[in-house]
Amino acid sequence: MSHTVRDLLILTAGLCTSIITTVAIWLSLHYLHFPVYGFSHWFILIGAVLCGVGAGSGYYWAAMKSHRKATALVLANLLSMAVSTYFVVQYLQYYEMAVNGQHVRDLVFFSTFLDLAIRNQKLGLFMATGLDTGALAKLGVFGYVLALVQIGGFAYGGFYLFSRLRVRAYCDRCEALLEPSMVDSRYAVMTEEVPQLFDVLKKLYRIGKIGEATAFFGQWGSCCTAAELSAGDGHRGEPLLEVWRLIDTVRRSQTD
């Protein structure tokens, strides 16, 4: 499969989930009069983040299945799908809304409608006790702050999916995402030793001394830093030694 065809299929999968998410949000607005993306907990817009994840989930799934490397283009696609979902929802409201039997789209431009919608937003407080304090005053120009936060939530949902894809080990030669076949923990006495140990490990791999690299990996000793040794299927003759991520760089020191 050519890269162009692969990317088009991934993009199609992303558009499908973006459309599904858009329709789901619009239905909640139309029938329940509740914006799902506005749901928050302690001022964290969980709803907006989840909507962003939902919009980009198809793209992420297709990228995983087709072994697409996490690149700047992938990030741009995920962010654009997540953020565009917000604006498409607003446009659907604009297109469908009617006042006194006359469609709003026949009265004002979309930009004017969006400005009015943002400025006329209201905040409501729902206490932990279950007491609903009702809606506060209209936000006016501060509605743009809330709108930007909501859009940021959508964008973060897309970025979260990208970060999940980015941490996966990738073989440039085979153009494939690799699954870890073994996970083990090794330790360093001082925090400063960790980058040095990883540098030695990578150099041994790069010059083809896989056995020495594996032995070196097994000799680490004392504080609390984890690494992952990954080898994908079909890479037995040339396993990939991947310094995937650092976990708890220093959980405790010798002074504890």
Q: How do the domains of the chain map onto residue ranges?
A: 3-166, 173-256
pLDDT grade, residue 10 (50/70/90)? very high
Predicted pLDDT at 190: 65
Between helices 72-96 and 46-65, what is the axis angle to 10°?
Answer: 130
d(CA 38, CA 51): 10
pLDDT band (50, 70, 90) for residue 47: confident
Q: How confident is the model at residue 99 (pLDDT cuts 50, 70, 90)?
A: confident
Q: What is this structure's pTM?
A: 0.66
* Residues 202, 241 contacting (CB under 8 angstroms): yes
Please state the separation of Cα 246 from the chain's center in Å: 20
Which pLDDT score is estimated for 169? 76
